[in-house]
A and B are shown apart, each in its own frame.
Chain A
Amino acid sequence: MDQYKALIGLEMHCEISKTNTKVFSSAKNSYEDTPNTNIRPVDMAFPGTLPVVNKEAVRKALMASIILNCKQPEYIYFERKNYYYPDLPKGFQITQETKPAPVGIYGELTYEVGEETKTIRVNNIHLEEDAASSTHHEDTTTINYNRAGVPLLELVTEPDFHSAEEAVSFLETMRSIYQYANISEADSKKGQIRCDVNVSIMDASLDEKDPKNWGTKIEIKNVNSFGGVRDAINYEIKRQIELKEDGKYDEMEQQTRRFDEETGTTIYMRSKVDAIDYKYFVEPNIPKFKLDPKWLEEIKATIPPLATERRDKYINELGVSPRDAKIIVKEKPLADYFEETVSLGANPQSAANWINSIILGHLNKMEKTIEELFLTPKMLKGLIDLVESSKISGKQAKEVLTKSLEEEKDPVKLVSELGMSQITDEAELTKIIKEVIEENPTQLESYKKNPKLFDYFVGQVMKKTRGKANPALSAKILKEELDK
């Protein structure tokens, strides 16, 4: 591999899920509803229907363009991409081509790969409509037109990635941006993110800035998960290197392949020569729209704090460890959950500890999202407070939280149900400790010579109280009583 360098570019499609209605239709933009219920006549292309642009979708698209440091156009136009497919009732998709300019061109974004910071060039980002979703059964296919017309952002990068790891890190960064900017849930499980990947290899010794040195570009269509992107890139690099080593690379034509999830391989679809001519032209039913620089300023001013900004705040203002802060901001819903818990008055580092250990572990195990979690930030705060005020020990809290998540019960209620509260009453503890000392005269004698036996007495106290004795207080009293 060292002999070769891979050049990888991405086309990332992400549905804008955070608008009330579709991009050119007044039907509801919703993923969950019963199939074929969110439909207006225009979504089924009934004769005489016309597209009407959803300004909120344009606003969100422009926000993404600004975040990606792209240049915004003077006018907003839309174009028709003409092709026949059952999921596209009009027979054309309303989209934006590069001429006239889409919502954003020529941007760049820095992102992190492990500890390293890298920069990727963005060729363009454009706003378009999604097609209906198809479900293929054994001998039939069903179509759900709820998705027809859902706003979709397509981001096209330059071939600036060199590894699957870089590409996936960039996708994770973009997902985070879409979530934090309230543009999209960006959930690939809901099919909201879909990628096309292009891969070529070249001699590592040559200058990659000169396109003449680039290899043959292979496009891989419809890769629908980040794991898939990683596997497709790795497979394709390996395949192309093998061709090179076998001396067959130069015979390889520019082509489109598809990723097969089952086998983790890419499969030939069509040659570049057979590429579809989409016969683009400007959509005549949407008048060109002059972008007011004031509106762009307004949009810029309303970009919510993104992940890195929130992470820095957690570290610098809330005193959360960098490691924990980084984990929390990875998914916006998790960061929101954390912030709500803290805003209720919980200790930030304790909240981070519980979220990153037991709660995340539970979510992963149950394949749930934080939104589906039974435990509310208020409940978590209650539990943290019990530990803070020494009502229960950390060990007990761990036990309670696990039980609470499993049985879907309020942890504070569980603590009282299980009679788990710590013994923090000094008089009560002194009484118990005196009993323990009386019951162990031989050990008391040995202790006088060997202070290491102190731990033995601690254990006896815990045993007698079934772990409910407050450890710090017990130790203090025990020391006093033993040294008397």
Chain B
Amino acid sequence: MEYMNKSIEEIHEALKKGEVTSKELIQESLKKSHELQEKCNAFVTILDDAKEQIVTEEVLSGIPYGIKDNYSTKGILSTGSSNTLKDYVPFFTATAIENLEKHGAVAVGKTVMDEFGMGGTGTTGHTGIVKNPWDTTRMCAGSSAGSAAAVAAGVFPYATGSDTGDSIRKPAAYCGIVGYKPTYGMISRYGLFPFASSLDHCGALTRNVKDAAIVVDAMKGKDKYDMTSWDSAYIHLAESLTGEVKGKKLCYIKELCNIENYPNASTTLKEHLENFANTLEKVKSLGIEVEEVSVDKTLLNALASVYVVISCAEATSNMSNLTGFIFGPRGEGENYIDMMKDYRTKNFSPLIKRRFVIGSYVLQKENKDRYFHNAQRVRRLLVDTWNKLFEKYDAVILPVGSGPAKHLDGSIDILDKDTAPLEEHLQVGNFGGFPSITIPDGFIDGLPVALNLTGACYDDANVLNIAYAIENILGYKNQISKGGK
């Protein structure tokens, strides 16, 4: 009998009944971790000595889970998938992980990511590329690649992720699972290795909406070590999932969803958008009103640049602490400048270095207003536009990306620049700190595709409840990857 492919509530039930013990769950999870490691390279560390926890009324107690490797974990290697921290063992644990521990959760592995979260492919971690468990010739997307792969493969029911642009929600889409990042500050970022502080969110990857609610309920809370965290004690996400959505209003953006915007559309893109349109019909059958809205295309086209400018600028500064003196392998050189240069030159991947150059460039005195401040102005315009939509609608519903997971061999996929806004629109969720959840909505060529719901700040319970109702009629709940290749 397997349990790691079940929902959290089902596993909890089995534990309570004594059908299975926490120790047996850990053994099953570790065995599957090693199998998946062979196949997809999802882990930086597999915690073979993970200790079972007493099963209590807490629904997460005794159940294994995975942690993205950019969460600081006391006494456990935490690399951020970077050579700069390849041997770094922290002496403190991230608040979100501490909260899970308080609920009796059992960590069994640290998952691979794009280096420090700066990537959307899952191919830039220092331990190698992460393959998609549905099709190992394809990517998981990133940066929470290992977490997505492991949850999709049924290694454990959930894993933590972090999301600066779409790093939880895109990999969830490519792996056929649920990815949820709550409102900015609902989960403390203390102990999360920063990428771009104003955009970084903690969150969870699960196989159904209720599990996402349960996990974030446990992770969240005001933290005296994070000034941007807020008191959400009055919000009970899992309890809010009633499935009653009649009269709720959703909107989708014409400029992103209408096939006419893509003159060079591939068959895949056509199928993806058709599938989305069909999904909307099913959504309407729930008594939810769905309307088409229009957003200035110039604004949508600016999305990706705004993200690059702001995230690179903040990242350059955030990663200035990586000098190799206080932690990390010390560089070689005659003086501290040479030692620091040596450490940073050797250990950062070329992609990150490129982003640092961009970040420095846009912050330079002579460029700052043209790039950095303008990016912030456009960020404000985008957030205002979405907030305006939230005045009328409970959430914006959109397809994730332009289709299923891309090939690891980049030359196979045809590049269509028209689809850029479709690939990048999830970043608005980070610009505004909006609650945003991705759920699977079908298959193209046997590979999962997904839709996303994004709502107003602090309206997490409402957004999750809508996702919960939609999930129930779509029929892609709790799916485990059926890996062929």
Residues of A within 8 A of B (CB): 41, 44-53, 80, 82, 84, 86, 89-92, 277, 279, 281, 284-287
Contact = CB atoms under 8 A, between A and B. Distances in A.
Contact of A48 (B194, B198, B364): B194
A91 B326 contact: no
B471 to A, nearest CB: 33
A46 B313 CA distance: 20
Contact of A86 (B225, B319, B322, B325): B325
Interface in B244-273: none
Contact of A47 (B85, B313, B363): B85
A92 B316 CA distance: 11
Given A47-B88, A48-B72, A84-B340, A286 B227 contact: yes
Contacts of B228: 284-285, 287
Contacts of A286: 227
B363 A90 contact: no
Given A82-B363, A92-B317, A50 B190 contact: yes
Nearest to B188: A50
Contacts of A92: 317, 320
Nearest to A47: B193
Contacts of B90: 46-48
Nearest to B325: A86
Contacts of A45: 321, 326
A285 B325 CA distance: 24
A441 to B, nearest CB: 92
B226 interface: yes
Given A47-B72, A52-B224, A281 B326 contact: no
Nearest to B363: A279
Given A46-B90, A48-B72, A48-B192, A287 B320 contact: no
A84 B323 contact: yes
B227 A53 contact: yes
Interface residues of B, number: 45
A82 B363 CA distance: 10
Given A47-B85, A80-B317, A279-B363, A284 B198 contact: yes
Contacts, number: 98
A64 B368 CA distance: 32
A287 B227 contact: yes
Contacts of B485: none
A52 B225 contact: yes
Contacts of B78: 47
Contacts of B337: 84
Chain A residues touching B, majority SS: loop
B80 A284 contact: no
The residue among A46, A51, A80 with the most chain B CB atoms within 10 A of its own CB is A46
B324 to A, nearest CB: 12
Given A51-B227, A82-B363, A281-B372, A91 B194 contact: no
A47 B190 CA distance: 9
10 contacts: A47-B88, A48-B94, A48-B190, A49-B225, A52-B224, A89-B323, A90-B320, A91-B320, A91-B321, A279-B317
The residue among B80, B88, B92, B320 with the most chain A CB atoms within 10 A of its own CB is B320
A143 to B, nearest CB: 10
Contacts of A89: 321, 323, 325-326
A46 B317 contact: no
Interface string B355-382: 0000010011100100010000000000
A279 B364 contact: yes
Contacts of B363: 82, 279, 281
Nearest to A88: B320
Contacts of B441: none
Interface in B109-154: none
A216 B13 CA distance: 79
A279 B190 contact: no
A134 to B, nearest CB: 11
Contacts of B372: 281
Nearest to A44: B326
A288 B321 CA distance: 24
Report, nearest first, the 7 A-B pairs whose CB atoms are least far apart: A91-B320, A284-B198, A279-B363, A45-B321, A284-B197, A48-B191, A48-B72
A284 B321 contact: no
A57 to B, nearest CB: 14
Given A50-B227, A86-B336, A285-B197, A279 B191 contact: no
A48 B322 CA distance: 12
B189 interface: yes
B431 to A, nearest CB: 12
Contacts of A82: 316-317, 320, 363
B317 A49 contact: no
A285 B227 contact: yes
Contacts of B163: none
B313 A281 contact: yes
Nearest to A81: B317
B166 interface: no
A50 B340 contact: no
Contacts of B317: 80, 82, 91-92, 279, 281
B460 interface: no
Contacts of B189: 48, 50
A91 B365 contact: no
A93 to B, nearest CB: 11
Contacts of B424: none
A279 B315 CA distance: 13
Nearest to B327: A46
A46 B92 contact: yes
Contacts of B88: 47
Nearest to B192: A48
B38 to A, nearest CB: 30
Interface string B180-209: 000000000111111011100000000000
B323 A91 contact: yes
Interface in B337-356: 337, 340
B211 interface: no
Contacts of B92: 41, 46
Contacts of A277: 364-365
Given A41-B92, A92-B320, A277-B364, A50 B225 contact: yes
B316 to A, nearest CB: 8
A80 B197 CA distance: 12
Interface string B62-80: 0000000001100000101
A334 B368 CA distance: 51
Interface string B398-426: 00000000000000000000000000000
Contacts of B85: 47
A284 B199 CA distance: 9
Contacts of B191: 48-49
A394 to B, nearest CB: 60
Contacts of A52: 224-227
A242 B368 CA distance: 40
Interface in B228-246: 228
Contacts of A287: 227-228
B314 interface: yes
A91 B78 CA distance: 21
